[in-house]
Amino acid sequence: GQQLNQSPQSMFIQEGEDVSMNCTSSSIFNTWLWYKQDPGEGPVLLIALYKAGELTSNGRLTAQFGITRKDSFLNISASIPSDVGIYFCAGHGMYSGGGADGLTFGKGTHLIIQP
Amino acid sequence: NAGVTQTPKFRVLKTGQSMTLLCAQDMNHEYMYWYRQDPGMGLRLIHYSVGEGTTAKGEVPDGYNVSRLKKQNFLLGLESAAPSQTSVYFCASSLWTDTQYFGPGTRLTVL
């Protein structure tokens, strides 16, 4: 199946710092999605991007759909303790997920915030 | 509006036993999916459905079967469980094919 390279794998930051993570792919995607997963819970959709070059915000979160359609980044400003969790990028395109309608997921970025 | 719900939340099986996981959504979504999540592997698509009465294979379909008899429900079956199927299973649904909403997950252990 398709692969998404998500980096960094983990981040240890101080409360109040800004966070940046990204995903890259060798394939073109039509949609980029960012999810957050808390321990013992399912992924929760944070931001959806549908157009190359699109920049979208959701509170302190900002994500961009790369111009080449092969990458996306997520920024979190002024991190707070509840931002702790695993952040996943996901791409959707014709060849993702082994089928026409699945998502291809990155392996996640573990965000750990030190008070 | 409960979104996507999954039952059971936890299950322990012995090798060779069978079971069915139930997913329900109340958003009138056409598309439903089953994923498994394993450490270091991310989420991988098992099967999906593009509407009532339809199913299709995803990336890792072997050992699983699915059925979508009603639009709001999507069932995942394991006919003869194996230890390699120990995982966390997530159901998701979407109105179109991209923006998917996930359930809380089922943690399955096969001994």
- Look at A98 and B59 and tell me if their CB atoms are within 8 Å: yes
How close does chain A come to B79, measured CA to CA in Å?
A: 22
| Tokens read off for A10 | 């983990």
| Chain B interface includes A43 (CB < 8 A) | yes
User: SS3 for chain A, per residue?
Assistant: CCCEEEECCEEEEECCCCEEEEEEECCCCCEEEEEEECCCCCCEEEEEECCCCCEEEECCEEEEECCCCCEEEEEECCCCHHHCEEEEEEEECCCHHHCCCCCEECCCEEEEEEC
pLDDT tens column, B10-50: 999 999 999 999 999 999 999 999 999 998 778 999 999 99
Asked if B34 has any chain A CB less than 8 Å from its own CB, the reply is no
Residues of chain A contacting residue B55, judged by C-beta atoms under 8 Å apart: none
| pLDDT per position as a tens digit, A41-84 | 999 999 999 999 999 999 999 999 999 999 999 999 999 999 99
Would you call A87 an interface residue with chain B, using a CB distance cutoff of 8 Å? no
Residue A99 has pLDDT above 70, yes or no: no
